[in-house]
Amino acid sequence: TKLVAALGNDAPQLVDATGALPRSGCVLLTLPLAKGLEFDHVIIPNANAGLFPADDRIAKNRLYTSISRATRELDVFALGELTPLLK
């Protein structure tokens, strides 16, 4: 919602008139919106240890859900130490 507020009328539409996602381009969404969807290429911008601690069941589930959205390519980045869940 912050992105839509900042971009105003220039904000991309998540779905078209039929309710379908765009066939090309980049879609930026939060994890709750991505749940149940799949994408050719997924980028996880910050999988650091602070956001995904090893001893946190919810963090483990969130990371699994994030990773499992990718069907072809997955890029995982971390600001700082990468989560131990991926080691």
Domains of the chain in sequence order:
26-86 (3.30.160)
pLDDT in tens, 31-62: 888 888 899 999 999 999 999 999 999 999 99
> Residue 34: what pLDDT?
85
pTM greater than 0.85: no
At residue 70, φ and ψ (nearest 5 deg) are: -80, 135
Can you name the residues that pair with 82 across neighbouring β-strands?
A: 48
